[in-house]
Every structure is written in C-alpha cells, then in structure tokens.
Amino acid sequence: LKRAFGNDEGNLYELTVADFTPENRNGFELKTNTKKNDQSDLDRVVSALALPDELFVDALAQVFDLDELITFWAMEVIVGHWDGMTGDKNNTFLYHNPDDDLFHAIPWGTDGAFNAEHPFIPNVPDSVYAYNTLSSRLYGIPEMREIYHNRLRSLLRDVWDEERIIAQFQSIVAQTDGDLTN
C-alpha cells in the first residue's frame, strides 16, 4: 500500500461476495486498522448508491476516481475475470487512501480469468459484468454506459496486445512443459 499509494494507513478491505448495500456490507473484510475497526468509509458509497441517478455520479466521484473505476471494470471484462468485483462481487481488494480520500480497487484471485464463460451465471454478455450494485447503477446511466463502452474500445485498441500475450503464454508453457489447452 505504501509503495502503490504512498500511504498505508487507510482501510484495506477484501471483498468476499460483498456489495455496497446495507444487507451485503458484511462481505467487506477489513484487513488493516482492525483494532480501530471503523468501516464508516463504506457508508459513503452506500449513501451515494441510494441517490437518484441525477445525483449519483457526482456523489460517487467523491468516493471513487471514476476514470480509474471504469478502467478497472473494463479490464475485468477484457481479461474475463468473472470472479472479481463486477462479475461476482468477489476477489478484489478495496483500499480507502487517506491522501485522496478515495477508494481504489485492486484485483486479486484472478485464477478464473481468461475463462470462456461465467460458471454461475450462464449466457451473460461477454462485454458487461455488472453484477454488483455499483457497476449495475453505472451501466444503467446512458452517459456512463457510453464512457464504459468507449473505455473498452480504447483499452482493446491501445493496451491489449494479443500477440504479446500469446507469446508470454507460450514462454510459460515452454518453461513449465505445460499445455495451453488445459
């Protein structure tokens, strides 16, 4: 946290089937500051989600860097990380950085990535994981949906390098005598 954010004093949460709703807040497991155990920072997100659409995005921008959040969401979709925050409300760390007073999502548990389909929710669109309240609300707002689609396109155009990824996989297979088909 210190290396990535310059400050390791904020709350770090592990999402284990967690959502920003009053009934699913207990899925946020506090990993730092456990003696103090002040999780009121999560209430700011829950409160933003309770607002009508015309107020929601501005309120959410007070607790998340929206550009970073949409990029995180789009990358979960691109790599097929169905078991992450937006695909399964799971396998993500969330850090509330006291320096900028914003939450930042950190992927982990990506062993389900690069999977052809979501094992628990069949026939879902491959281009949208909007199973948590946050991504579902954002996707339901036409302007935010357009920003999300534009981010997907720009990441696929400017960041995703299929040839390089395949070469890295082949290198791993060569080093481990593995089989890419399994």
pLDDT score of 52: 96
Q: Whole-angstrom Cα distance, residue 71 to residue 91?
A: 17
Q: What is the DSSP string of 86-141?
A: HHHS-SEEEEEETTTTEEEEEE--GGGTT-SS-SSSTT--TT----SHHHHHHHTS
| Both tokens assigned to 149 | 């689609």
Minimum mean pLDDT among 31-35, 116-120, 122-126, 137-141: which range? 122-126
pLDDT score of 59: 98
Q: Whole-angstrom Cα distance, residue 131 to residue 138?
A: 11
Please give the residue that has the higher pLDDT: either 166 or 178: 166
Is the pLDDT at 86 greater than 90? The verdict is no
Residue with token string 């497991």? 29
The overall average pLDDT reported for the chain is 89
Q: In the beta sheet, which residues pair with residue 14?
A: 29, 93
Q: Whole-angstrom Cα distance, residue 28 to residue 59?
A: 21
pLDDT score of 173: 83
pLDDT score of 116: 60
